[in-house]
Structure 1
């Protein structure tokens, strides 16, 4: 490229190493590209003026080096002390440094010249909201959408939705009531799936410690695709349908009707929920109304919910107890009251020590 060649020739000219042919070549290039002559004029103005040639290469090298140091310190020739002993390598170091410096200055100037005419792109600041274990959070997004954030979850979104898409990132569980805007689709990015909507209400559950991600549609219509590079097959969810993306084989409750399950490719399952169930009674959305609902989940799944709900650590010490499944609904009960109520259904014992809960046969 001509600019790289101009950089080399400028560096050689300022360092005094350019041959007459190279100087002619530089002059020709600057005539062809006059905008680059501006840099040469700047560097020439600030480049140290060479001192008269002295007898002997060593003396010239030392005197030139000394002259530059004095000029940088603001000293005149009358103020300078006698020169040091001969050090021929100074000139070589100086010329190399000069060439590198000239190249850096040139490319910096070229960068500024290239981008100064382009409009500045504002940096979009992001907001991150975290609901700590044992707590929930409700927030209003810049577009008017409302989000309820469950315990142990975090959401990240721009301070202003300036693009054609309204995009947020979620880790954990959240219930979205999206403000309708057909010109700006709303997208939720999670570990396993991407949800795209226009205006609707849905729940997403994607805790990193869980072996599955769930998306439950309450009303409206959403498009769901798997996270990954390249185009992904998209599915449409209808009201009272739940998509489950499993990282391990999905276990199905023995009481679940096969007609309520639709298999789709790539370890994805669509479950059809009871349309008569109110939002407050659905396992997937009851937490928004401060209700803890279990509908046939096994004990480890229930324990994980209770850990986030009460900010405790639960350990099940018996494999048989871990296979227990429960159907129950709680509201405003303590963890002791919940476990005591579950004991009425199936036999187990528990011990609570501060925030640690141990469950035995």
Structure 2
């Protein structure tokens, strides 16, 4: 018997026992039954069995026919995928190279134009290696010494100011409330807020606690390249922060009286020697405790 005839008789409850058994074994029987169960939730306004049959056929066809996306929808999906892949590829291509150092660590980086950057402890730089010719910019957090090849130019950008360089050697220190640039060769242009200066060999630019000063140096390179941190009239807390970066220790210090300034330096190779170098001139004593804890306090006069 034709499948449609069986379906009509089933809807009209006219199937014989043998036909009913055969019909229930067909592949579509469960789908028909589910549709009927759903339809029974609604009240019929007609006893037209033909209408019921045609409606069921349409429902079955919709149920069994796989869903297909229209051409316009597929094009939209394809367009979105192409854009997404393009953005991802651009991200991979233009994503910056990032280099950072940990406490008690220094490292040397060669920029795409062969200029050399030496990072001090707990510092980081980022630059676009693939897009360097169009985006000649180095982002710096911390401290770094730059040795730029003659004729090469780029910007060093920090949170507190920007340095524009052309074939020179200079040092940039950017720490909390402290921004300093020292020119050792050639010239650099430094800009921080509204303060802009052109530095030549031996000149310094310092912005500390929002106070701007200039100075001079006779050094040919920063001493930290030789594992010595040096300071010139710097708040003592800044010196202790650098000690923590170079040795990976925690310093506990309770200042007495007004903030004092420190001039001098300490070695990166021996903690005891470093502590003697910074506490003796300040009339202080220290104690090295467990878990890399260093306690410093002022002597009683």
What is the aligned counterpart of 2:198 among 231, 236, 245? 236
State the partner residue of 1:295.
Answer: 232
State the partner residue of 2:61.
Answer: 67
Say if 2:220 is the partner of 1:279: yes
The structure carrying a bigger strand percent of its residues is 2
CA distance in 2, matches of 1:188, 1:273: 21
TM-score between both structures, scaled by the size of structure 2:
0.68
TM-score between both structures, scaled by the size of structure 1:
0.58
State the partner residue of 2:292.
Answer: 355
State the partner residue of 2:103.
Answer: 133
Distance of aligned partners of 1:64 and 1:200 in 2 relative to their CA distance in 1, 3 Å threshold: farther
Aligned-partner SS, 2:94 = coil
CA distance in 1, matches of 2:132, 2:242: 36
Q: Alpha-carbon deviation of 1:189?
A: 1.7
Distance of aligned partners of 1:62 and 1:312 in 2 relative to their CA distance in 1, 3 Å threshold: farther
Say if 2:277 is the partner of 1:315: no
State the partner residue of 2:93.
Answer: 123
CA distance in 2, matches of 1:236, 1:60: 89
CA distance in 1, matches of 2:58, 2:113: 66
Say if 2:288 is the partner of 1:345: no
State the partner residue of 1:158.
Answer: 128
CA distance in 2, matches of 1:224, 1:160: 26
What is the aligned counterpart of 2:158 among 184, 187, 190? 190
Distance of aligned partners of 1:198 and 1:340 in 2 relative to their CA distance in 1, 3 Å threshold: closer
Say if 2:147 is the partner of 1:177: yes
Stretches of structure 2 that go unaligned for 5 or more consecutive residues are 1-48
Residues 158-205 of structure 1 show CA distances to partners (whole Å, capped at 9, x for unaligned) of 2334433422211111111112345xx311121122222222111111
Q: Could you tell me whether the CA contact under 8 Å between 1:279 and 1:286 is conserved in 2?
A: no
Select the structure of larger CA radius of gyration. 2
Stretches of structure 1 that go unaligned for 5 or more consecutive residues are 1-53, 73-93, 251-268
